[in-house]
Structure 1
Amino acid sequence: MSAGRKSEETMNSGQPTTGPGRVFSIVIVDDARPSTLLLKAALGDSANLAITLFTDPQEALTWIETHRPDLVITDYVMPEMDGIALARRIRALPHGAAVPIIMATARNEAAVRTLALSAGINEFLGKPVDGTELRARVQNMLHLREQHVQLQEANNRLQALNKMLALEIEQRKILEDELRRLATLDALTGALTRRRFLELFDQELARRNRTNLPLSVLMIDLDHFKLINDRFGHATGDLALTHFSAVCKACLRTHDHLGRMGGEEFAALLPETNIEDAHVVAERLRRSIAAAKISLTEDEHLTLTVSIGVAECYGFQPPEAILAAADRALYQAKHAGRNRVIRALPPGE
């Protein structure tokens, strides 16, 4: 680098440090090489300061941009770029707003000082520079700089903690949502629990009463399920239930609701569906279940059949009345030979 590139010197005691290894970086800029050396000498010897000298303001600016010093001391009158222009350029750097700047000048006019302050100069030194005043002002600026650094570090730690906390909250929310979702689903089949199904039934029934749109329900029972458990074991029985649930979900619409009411009995809630259309859905479901065989071994397959009762909501019936009507229709389907769909009659018929 040009004359005055780098020199690590120190100042006498009294400089703020954060620990034994804390070294403050000071940049001195003056187009007159002897002036930079005089300022450096006036600062004295200390292991706490690393002083870098520049006679070219542009070179100083380039160095400041990459090294982030703790303090800049600049002369005012310099060719091509004076101290005020240099201060503006420093303040424009991404990290330059926090760097203290002291300007040395023999001019004491209010206009010059006002212009310097507007450019971001923090302190002034009269010329010729008094060593005691220089050290005092440097000590004050470095103390302010250290406070700023400590505040910035504390702020960075706080931001990091906030991010960690936000992430933890987000992860906890995801976990809570998942636990809530799992609490509403049957662990084996993935169908809604009875409690959740009835909650949604109440909601859909309230919507039906507001909009007068049809609402139907299917009560579904796996035929001869006890025989499956007795012959093949409960593991195969569980497989049959999960298979049945998967076929149902494939046949139903996304806004329909499938719930496990207990054991091998299920219910499907069909919003905006009258009993004729619900009967069509039930038949499609019955045929799909009968056609989808379960492979137990390479040579052995299990075929399921279901009996289904269909009921529609009429007037302002409570959920229990609609479910009871569908359950009676299911009972009729089972006693009529199973593997069939029976519709419930409207109330009073």
Structure 2
Amino acid sequence: MIDPNCSIMVVDDARFSSAMIGRTLERTGFKNIRYATSALQALDELERKPASVLIADWLMPEMDGLELTSRVRQLDEASNHFTYVLLLTAKEGADALEEAFDRQVDDFIHKSAMNEQLPPRIFAAQRMSSIQNKLLRQNQLLLENNQQLRSRNLVDALTGLGNGRYILKKLKESLQIVHERDQAVCVLMVDIKQADRIQTKYSKAMLDEVTRGVGRRLAQLVRPLDIVGRLQSTQFAVITTVPNLHQCSGGSFKRIHEGINLKAFKTSTGFISVQASTLLCGVDARKGNIDAKTMLLWLQEQSGCLIDSNRIMECDYLPIQKS
């Protein structure tokens, strides 16, 4: 069954050819048809408003149909969309067919048979595009639902480490343990600096790669019983318990500081170096009851203000009495 509102983009530098294609589509029952006289114009239009089906001439000035197809696939990937691409060509033979399909073209029609073949092929294209986009929408909905579920649990979706809820839970438990045992808690905050620069220079996906890399390296650098998690964005925390505050010093965490700052991270575009500020705070739980949430918020604020990544900054934290 034909969907008259199926969005179709016709790209041809010859207006006469575009008019013929448009008349054929209109006679078939399609109404939502847009036209572009060049591949660049088509890309500009598709970026603003995607189409379900793209009909383009294989041979065009500036950019041919194969290159246009590659660029359309990039737009589709960025917008979670599928565009069915059909090229019109005078080329014949298996070589042309193989070349088109290798470049992710969905179908092509020989120009000499366009009037007879275009209606049924567009009908099939409309159905395929509708199915693919429905699947993409369903997958996106599943992804969003999964993200909502993850937001309620203790796992950070990006790194697989504990999330902010997990860190808060473990800090509460650690404070309770050291209070009972007359010990101390060390909290190391690791904050990736110039994250905006990485995202601007590369992409958000690349920043995510770097963030995952930092998380993996932290998990390797901490001791077996230490707790590590991602609090937010590019901010991580490591929690460890020690017999007393004398053992909560920058030297004890030097391997973590240098492991992040002095060794680049391998990504899909090469190695990227990271500057991270590290703030170390020790808490002597014997001095009184401490509110873990208030403490964690204070530590995040202090860590976010640091700009020095050449050494581990140390601070004292005064315990907060519960009311």
TM-score, normalised via structure 1 length: 0.43
With CA pairs under 8 Å and 6+ residues apart, which has the higher RCO, 1 or 2?
2
TM-score, normalised via structure 2 length: 0.46
> For the pair shown, which has the larger CA radius of gyration, 1 or 2?
1
